[in-house]
Amino acid sequence: MPRCESVTSWRLAAAVVSFAAATFTSASSFALEQGRHQQISRDACTAAGLPEEFCERVGVESYNVDAYEWNDLAAHAQVDVSLGQTACQAANLAADRVFGLGQDLRDAVFAKARGEAWADGQYLAIRLGRALHTVQDSCAHSGISNPNHAWLSLSDTCSGSHVSPDVQPAAIACAEDETTAVIAAFQGTLAQAGLAPSTLDAGVTRGWTHWPSRGDVCAFLNSAGTWNGSDTRWENAVAVPALRDQFAAGVSGTAIARDVCHGDPLALVAQQLVAPIDTSRGPQRCAKVQAFCLGEHAATGEAPPPWEEPADTTSAEVTGGCAAAGESPVGLALLVLACGAWRRRDRRS
């Protein structure tokens, strides 16, 4: 089996350039991708006057939810149709998550104010970042199922459309507003405890950001084949403020009804749904996605998902141990892609 390092001809370089230009369709600048989670979280945190190192770690933790909690759909405000969840059940799980993280933050803030060593700024930053990711995703995902989301993501990745819930400008604006509200609620608890914001940097390290695993991303994309074409979103006008209120109640110690739907199973029925589409021919596929999920490396290791912008990649390192490909431009380009080109290693925020 040839090693990637042996493929060094000028034809390979030309093929890669040509192939990349043809198939690496840049994602929308509005995409709520991992870097955007980080940016929104960090920027809102520093704009609120909280310490820089603390805010940097908050951004990293918001980013890393997609790496560490990829398969926990409550973390992403989505309905898990594989478990037969209803919208109300899924929304309650997301609400429970942010309420619990709010409670953890409250307990730690008051513990820090009492001088307890375990409750340092890093403990607080981790939990605030995780909560922020979920409230931000509630804006974009609206409870969308993985098969529905994967179908739309494949369309964007392979055809250059902008139909994924993560690329809608309204989702970004909503995420920014909700992030500001969550941080304001956190600041209210700092004030209740008499804890100076300047102390939040204590114990904070910058941390590493991580991609999700290839295997998780490919399983997500493959789920598109099970979608029936019906819009699976919930009503964000109900769910988004509900998650915000649940976090605020948890972090402030305020009593709140824990059922987002308040006993009404129709409370989250969306008022506007996209018309059903014909899925009988299956989801879109393209060389970019096939290369990402190709071969022995497809199930392991971190890598930038196919929908990430190629300009966001900081390493084009080619590694050994890959399958052979033909010498056509597409075959040569697939060889490089399958061997790990465009792969970004762990990187500092």
Domain ranges of the chain: 4-348
With 0-12 / 13-18 / 19 or more C-beta atoms within 10 angstroms meaning exposed / middle / buried, residue 227 is buried
The pLDDT of residue 337 is: 36
Predicted TM-score of the model (pTM)? 0.81
pLDDT, tens digit only, all 349 positions of the chain? 333 333 333 333 333 333 333 333 333 333 468 999 999 999 999 999 999 999 999 999 999 999 999 999 999 999 999 999 999 999 999 999 999 999 999 999 999 999 999 999 999 999 999 999 999 999 999 999 999 999 999 999 999 999 999 989 999 999 999 999 999 999 999 999 999 999 999 999 989 999 999 999 999 999 999 999 999 899 999 999 999 999 999 999 999 999 999 999 999 999 888 899 999 999 999 999 998 998 655 666 888 899 886 544 333 322 222 222 333 333 333 333 333 333 333 444 4
Instruction: Extract long-range pairs of 293-297: CB within 8 Å, 24+ residues apart.
Output: 293/214, 293/217, 293/218, 293/221, 293/222, 294/323, 294/334, 294/337, 294/338, 295/322, 295/323, 295/338, 296/321, 296/323, 297/214, 297/321, 297/322, 297/338, 297/340
Q: Judge whether 144 and 80 are in contact, CB under 8 Å.
A: no
Q: Judge whether 80 and 90 are in contact, CB under 8 Å.
A: yes
| Cβ neighbours for 158, distance < 8 A, ≥ 6 positions apart | 25, 284, 285, 286, 288, 289
The pLDDT of residue 299 is: 65
Q: Give CA–CA dist 8/204, Å, rounded.
A: 44
pLDDT digits (tens, 9 = 90+) for 328-340: 333 333 333 333 3
